[in-house]
Amino acid sequence: MSAHCQLTGTKPGFGNKISHSHRRTSRRFDPNIQHKRYWLPSEGRNVRLTLSAKAIKTVDVIGIEAAVARIRARGGKV
65, 7 Cβ separation under 8 angstroms: no
User: What pLDDT was estimated at residue 2?
Assistant: 76
Cβ neighbors of 42 (< 8 A, separation 6 or more) are: 65
Instruction: Calculate mean pLDDT across residues 14-29.
Output: 97
Angle subtended at Cα 56 by Cα 51 and Cα 60, rounded to the nearest 5 degrees: 145
pLDDT tens-digit readout, 35-66: 999 999 999 999 999 999 999 999 999 999 99
User: What pLDDT was estimated at residue 1?
Assistant: 53
